[in-house]
Chain A
Amino acid sequence: MARSYFCGSGDHAVSRRGFLGALAGAGATAACADMTAIQALATPGVSEDLRRNQKRCILLWLAGGASQMETFDPKPGVSTGGPFQSIQTSSTGVRISELMPKMAARFKDTCVIRSINTRNADHGGGAKLMMRGRPGESNVDYPDLGAVLSRELGLESSQVPDYVSYYFATEGRSMAPGNPGFLGARFGSMDLYSSMVPENIRRTSISAADHVGRAELRGQLNRQFQQGRASLSLDSHQQAYDRVSGIMANEALFDIQREPQRIRDMYGPTLFGQQTLAARRLIEAGVPFIRVGRAWWDSHGQNFETHQEMVPELDHVMSTLLTDLEQRGLLESTLVITLAEFGRTPRINAQLGRDHFASAWSCSLSGCGIKGGTVYGRSDELGNTVAENPVNAGQLFATIYSALGINPHKNYYVGSRPIPLVDPGIEPIRAVLK
């Protein structure tokens, strides 16, 4: 189906089409016989194809603004440094907070960017900026990262959702909702706010047999109607129906109870751990983008104890995810991002808190396309400003797109207006890309 606002480039058509055949068959089976996509994708040929060709992304969204000083850019021994030390990572000369010993031990796949300057220290504005990669514009509704990656990495007739977003905490949820913008609702997020399994795909009143019966009846009617006709709209309708049917057959995809106990134990019992395990499960089944929202890091008071509570969880879950992806052969094709709307002030306030800060903060990129074991950019001695290689939101997004094999300069079209993925003149950070 033609979409006037999409790039006409065939950049990704081959891999998508190559994959479509295998998945369409598997998906049809899944829809009709209640076989989940994850089971279908477990067949050797399909999973190998997925591993080789399909790029995926998990965004660990540290909502509220995690402190760079207590994570990836520690400054021990200076007045702004706080009480925690830095520790040596597995990469020579690179040190991160002592609160992250597990990530320090497996730093080889991760690049930390320590020089983000986004100049917006407001939760709402910062979140929108860091979800879209650029400031808003009154007459263009830009899609967010998940929607773009859903469009670029998803399969047109995929039987699994393209963009899943977990965000159970109520604080900050409305500040950074998934937003397909001009790409349209097809690339919007499936938002999970309270249940690990989407409530609306649970079969509460219709049995699996009923679904199969309805699918057969619909197929029979379609075939009768289609005789002697060539209808794009009918094809589109059928695709949409197949997609919904496929997703409805995927309840098990979201169910981490189907993972071996050993794997569940590995991720740990916290909600963040469980959702990240679900994200890995979705990645494995071909979902191109999952955001796991871990809120709420807004530590205006008791910053150090807040981070003492939350960073070890991040350290454990993130390192477990990277190791799990690596062991499954998926890390080379999966980009794992930790990102927030901003970082936190170097200055320590009277409640031993740190406040909003967007002038010199950090994020991390791991896995797909990333030169691991590295640090890019530098903040000054106290952490107040960027001292070297400043990075803005657009550069970060260009780097993310490039790491995933997407040309950041490609255009979408809104009417006749070309809209590049990142603003003109912005280039990816080559130094962090493989």
Chain B
Amino acid sequence: MPTSKPQNLRTLHEISRQDICFAVARVPNSDRLLVPTSDGKVFEINAVNAKGEAKALANHGRYVNAVALADGVAISGGYDNRLIWWDVAKESVIRTVAAHTRQIRQIAVSPDKTKIASVADDMICRVWNVSTGAKLHDLVGHAERTPTNFTTMLYACTFSPDGRHIATGDRIGHIIVWETATGRKVAEMDAPLLYTWDGTQRIRSIGGIRALAFSPDNNQLAAGGVGQIGNVDSLAGPARVEIFDWQKRTRVHEFTGNQGMLTRLIYHPTANWIFGAGGGGNGIALFYDLAKRAMLHQANQPMFVHDAVFNEDYTKLYCVGHNKIAVSELKE
């Protein structure tokens, strides 16, 4: 079985798109990607080559931010506040649910594929039964306004590897860990450096927790985004990751990368590195060695990356983003 080597990351091909690709889910053991876009639809895209043949599946009619795949059932969500369940093989809609009162930002699927969690700008995380579409819990606890009384956003959610917990992260850098079975809040942490409020020069803010990932051993929780920014007109700050021992509620490590904002964090399941993708002036792909506490490899991507996914053995990387999809390999 091949093993991955981040230092060998190289682009295999790029697929040009007219739209902005906001998220990605991959059909197992294939190059088929489910990609929600600014076109208001979710596309199934064959990423085996640069042609990137695509067919439209679910249609939300507005920007679609999120997609998750659970055993042939895909669930997508976006600015229409709805979750749409659809059968990937049959290319048919299973159900549509008015899930939130504001735009849905992310969807995470539990490791056993029986539940999904959705977060939205109504500042609620909702847990759903994948099979029935029934709502299991409302996880309410993120502030509805920023400390300076502006609208805020709830960007990120993820399940722990054992499925027992869900972590959520918002614009002002607040993280909550919830117990999946009960919906009970079990831990809270803050990563304030992932939120920049400029009360002097521009009187507005930027940033937020855009990506969350539990470590494979379930002990750590990583939060990613962009660090403090001097000029909030753009993403001119360092890509930033903060790692917490979430059960002790303490920050154990932090690191920064090239300029930009991280939108996806993925722990390698066995090796001791964490991957981050995002963008600023350039697209970002970074690999950080957690044992050595040092950057293993950083490379530009051909576009701002909104989401990324690996294949089963982590030797192939699929990044989706602004007008483009990039397929890379990182073989030993």
Contacts and interface: CB of A to CB of B under 8 A. Distances in A.
B151 A169 contact: no
23 contacts: A76-B62, A77-B40, A77-B61, A79-B19, A83-B63, A83-B78, A83-B103, A85-B79, A170-B200, A270-B149, A270-B150, A272-B203, A295-B202, A299-B233, A300-B233, A301-B206, A301-B233, A302-B206, A306-B204, A309-B151, A309-B204, A309-B205, A351-B235
Contacts of B151: 308-309, 312
Given A79-B18, A169-B201, 8 more contacts: A171-B202, A272-B203, A305-B153, A308-B153, A309-B150, A313-B150, A350-B303, A350-B321
B234 A351 contact: yes
Interface string A295-322: 1101111100110111011000000000
Given A296-B233, A298-B233, A308-B151, A83 B79 contact: yes
A268 B150 CA distance: 11
Given A351-B279, A351-B304, A353-B234, A169 B153 contact: no
A399 B307 CA distance: 49
Contacts of A353: 234
A320 to B, nearest CB: 14
Contacts, number: 89
A268 B20 CA distance: 36
A424 interface: no
Contacts of A309: 150-151, 204-205
Interface in A140-178: 168-171
A93 interface: no
B235 A296 contact: no
A170 B202 CA distance: 7
Contacts of A76: 62
Interface residues of A, number: 37
Contact of A296 (B78, B204, B303): B204
Contacts of B29: none
Contacts of A44: none
Interface string A305-342: 11011101100000000000000000000000000000
Contacts of A295: 202-203
B280 interface: yes
Interface in A226-279: 268-272
A294 B203 CA distance: 8
Interface in A103-158: none
Interface string B25-38: 00000000000001
A302 B196 CA distance: 13
A84 interface: yes
A23 B200 CA distance: 38
Interface of B: 18-20, 38, 40, 61-63, 78-79, 103, 121, 148-151, 153, 200-206, 233-236, 279-280, 303-304, 321-323
A306 B206 contact: yes
B174 to A, nearest CB: 16
A290 interface: no
A268 B151 CA distance: 13
Interface string A68-91: 000000001101001111000000
A296 B149 contact: no
A430 to B, nearest CB: 37
3 interchain residue pairs of minimum CB distance: A301-B234, A296-B202, A83-B63
A295 to B, nearest CB: 6
A171 B201 contact: yes
Nearest to B324: A350
A87 B234 CA distance: 29
A169 B233 contact: no
Nearest to B152: A309
A272 to B, nearest CB: 8
A432 interface: no
A39 B121 CA distance: 45
A268 B103 CA distance: 25
A350 B234 CA distance: 11
Contacts of B236: 301
Given A271-B203, A348-B20, A350-B279, A83 B149 contact: no
A310 B200 CA distance: 15
Q: Which of A83, A84, A310, A312 has the most CB of B within 10 A?
A: A83
Nearest to A169: B203
Contacts of B19: 79
Q: Which of A79, A270, A302 has the most CB of B within 10 A?
A: A302
A302 B235 contact: yes
A85 B62 contact: yes
Contacts of A350: 279, 303-304, 321-323
